[in-house]
Amino acid sequence: MNDVRTPVAVVTGAGSGIGRAVAVELLGHGWSVALAGRRAERLEETVRAADRDAADRSLAAPTDVTDPDSVQALFAAARERFGRIDLLFNNAGTFGPGGVPFDELPYDAWRHVVDTNLNGAFLCAQAAFRQFRQQSPPGGRIINNGSISAHAPRPNSAPYTATKHAMTGLTKSLSLDGRPYRIACSQIDIGNAATAMTERMQTGILQANGETAVEPTMDVADVARTVRHMADLPLEANVQFATVLATNMPFIGRG
């Protein structure tokens, strides 16, 4: 049973990128963390990247967020290990195929992005919501990883953009539905954090005007600190929407 004074987080997509950075940040500041991702070895790498005592406050839980049974097993394992859950960072996602014109996009590719980014987010949020209502004291926080693409698309990005717009609707619904149960929900929209998924920014990426341009990136640790700030707030306060992005990226004025 986890000491209730130690907050407990579930972080999906914790094996790399933003999820890894957030898990390391939380572990480094006293949180206990259940790390979810597809590959156990990558989750263990995340734990080793954190503080020396992180192993005592971590649970590596290989999870397929598109599978309801796998998601239920994740939250059951976190509850058994730590006793309660205070935070879900709903982060697992995929860009899908890049550079494919809309009329040539295979349905399987569309479905994979929707299953991961939207259906996976729903399943994890629902499991967290249920746990927040049942535990004592009740309540908790969900932080959804939206995207700059929740506001403005890149060319040839219909699956990713559609799911990230849907994430905003999910965030708003959870914020409303969670009010009676001390459940807060917020969304962080991230632009050009330097991870393996954004390496193409360094060599040039298609712009709305048809040109290809190198885009600036920011340290992913800056994203993690923002998430931790949102997570550390009391449940009586909420950052409803936050946008953190590389200062000079072409977002304001995109298109």
Q: Which residues are catalytic?
A: 160
Contacts of 198 (CB under 8 A, 6+ apart): 192, 217
| Phi, psi angle pair for 235, to nearest 5° | -65, -15
The Cα–Cα gap between 171 and 71 comes to 19
User: Which pair of structure tokens corresponds to residue 6?
Assistant: 């130690």
The H-or-E segment that residue 229 falls in is helix 220-232
Q: What is the dihedral of CA 242, 153, 24, 118, to 10 degrees?
A: 90
| Phi, psi angle pair for 103, to nearest 5° | -75, -10
* Dihedral over Cα of 162, 164, 168, 171: its sign: positive
Which residue is it, tokens 């940040």? 25
The Cα–Cα gap between 63 and 131 comes to 18
Give me the half-sphere count of Cα atoms (radius 13 Å) on the Cβ side of residue 11.
33
Residues in the chain: 255
- Burial (CB count within 10 angstroms: exposed 0-12, middle 13-18, buried 19+), residue 85: buried
Give me the half-sphere count of Cα atoms (radius 13 Å) on the Cβ side of residue 158.
12
